[in-house]
Copies of this chain bind each other. A is one copy, B any other.
Amino acid sequence: MNIQDFRDLERLVEAKDFKTVKEELPLFQDADIADLLDDLNREHVILVFRSLPKDRAAEIFAYLPGDKQEYIVGGITDQEVGSIIDQLFVDDAADFLEELPASVVKRVLQHASPETRKLVNQFLKYPPESAGSIMTAEFVDLKKDMLVSEAFARIRRTALDKETVYTCYVMDANRRLEGVVTVKNLFLEKDDAVIGDVMEKNVIFAHTIDDQEVVAQLFARYDLLSLPIVDHENRLVGIVTVDDVVEVIQQEATEDFQIMAAMAPSERPYLKTSVFKLAKNRIMWLLILMLSAMITGSILGKYEAAIVSMPLLVTFIPMLTDTGGNAGSQSSTLVIRGMALGEVSLADGGRVFLKELGVSGLVGAALAVVNFVRLILMYPGDYLVAFSVSLALFATVLLAKTVGGLLPLVAKAMKQDPAIMAAPVITTIVDALSLIIYFKVVDALLL
């Protein structure tokens, strides 16, 4: 193979050697071709895209990031765009059109088939990150009274246009879901068995408006390859396939990592995101947290007299606030992740509180003892200082962990993303709380 990376491809295009491009590019996987296109100089993208085999162009198009899709649509004819839209699975078409300005969508859809147009328009109405927004309409539907041999014939006749053929859906006359049958089941049955007798009637499904995270949890729990999605009248309107769910799971986790580190979430890979865009995603939360930290500073300001009279007190502050922040983040991280996996819900508030109380008691006591011993060794005889600092540490850990465990649930109850209540916010809150505790203790015991 001559083409190793996008630079080779670039060179071939510059040399106008489209014969080699047409011969070698199809040897790559669709996802890899999309990657090559994404890295190519803009002026070459359209040329290479047009040289792709017609039957793979739509699939490769679906792998491209939104900005490249938009660029290509601007450079090819409306007829070409219409034919891509027709060939795309409807979930991919809706994904792509979602990002475009309404006027462009209208123009593009005029050149798609009426059937595609109707479907896509319907799909565009589902809320973002809902089951409806990630489902596709291309599934195999069977009837209860079909024989296994008839089912096989139907699958073979329609397989080409289906996103998956391995799970087939049995519907009644009103398109209500009656059962599912997998191709593996069909393989194991006799040709003259009746679908209604061999189908699984106990079907796992989701609603169009369910969150995609709920869909992902169902796939993980029941080891599914696809999941039927029904509308508010329980009619089967689409299916979600496992490849899209793998993407959803990766994306949802990435989004949580970003939100939990106080950033605006972004889907583009780190190295492909511009410095300006990265800075934009990060600045807002840093500003909010910086201004919040000033409150903590003003608490210190209130105790200036104590600090001047006993400057040693200041040296324990980083240990106290850092430990509090870390202890709180541990708890909030576990609860946030538990909620994302569907293992912890709002109703578990009481159990979370009791668990964190118990854990913080154990952990706080252990840390306080180690800290006390350390202080006695460093400042022999200063028992009261060692005791005060250790007591403040114990109280800080207790408070940090219960607050850290409960705040994600509070966020959820207020319809906010629980992931906001992670390390940065918890640290800022616990910093202030731990200083108040510290100086109250110091005030009572040392001054």
Contacts and interface: CB of A to CB of B under 8 A. Distances in A.
Interface of A: 27, 29, 31, 155-156, 159-160, 164-166, 183-184, 187-188, 202, 204, 219-225, 242-243, 245-247, 249-250, 253-254, 256-258, 260-263, 269-271, 275-276, 278-279, 282-283, 285-287, 289-291, 293-294, 296-298, 300-301, 304, 307-308, 311-312, 314-319, 321-323, 325-327, 329-330, 333-338, 341, 343-344, 348, 351-352, 355, 358-359, 362-363, 366-367, 370-371, 374, 397, 423-424, 427-428, 431, 435
A166 to B, nearest CB: 5
A286 B156 contact: no
A424 B155 CA distance: 55
Given A279-B358, A318-B321, 14 more contacts: A165-B187, A225-B225, A249-B249, A256-B257, A270-B335, A270-B344, A271-B348, A282-B327, A283-B363, A289-B326, A297-B318, A317-B317, A322-B427, A423-B423
Contacts of A165: 183-184, 187
A2 to B, nearest CB: 16
Contact of A341 (B250, B362, B423): B250
A311 B312 contact: no
B311 A296 contact: no
B262 A187 contact: no
A164 to B, nearest CB: 8
Contacts of A285: 326
Contacts of A374: 291, 294
Contacts of A319: 290, 293-294, 296-297
Nearest to A201: B27
A225 B244 CA distance: 11
The prevalent SS among residues of A at the interface is: helix
Contacts of A262: 326, 329-330
A419 B258 CA distance: 14
Q: Which of A253, A278, A322, A351 has the most CB of B within 10 A?
A: A322
A342 B341 CA distance: 23
Contacts of A188: 156, 159-160
Contacts of A337: 254, 257-258, 270
A93 to B, nearest CB: 16
A333 B294 contact: no
Contacts of A431: 318, 322
A341 to B, nearest CB: 7
A383 to B, nearest CB: 19
B311 A261 contact: no
B275 A358 contact: yes
Contact of A298 (B183, B291, B315, B344): B315
A138 to B, nearest CB: 12
Contacts of A253: 249, 253
A167 B327 CA distance: 47
A293 B325 CA distance: 12
B314 A307 contact: yes
A423 B423 CA distance: 7
Nearest to A351: B271
Contact of A282 (B223, B249, B359, B370): B359
21 contacts: A31-B221, A166-B184, A220-B247, A223-B243, A242-B246, A249-B250, A261-B330, A261-B333, A263-B334, A269-B341, A275-B358, A282-B330, A283-B362, A283-B367, A286-B397, A294-B319, A294-B374, A296-B322, A304-B314, A322-B428, A329-B424
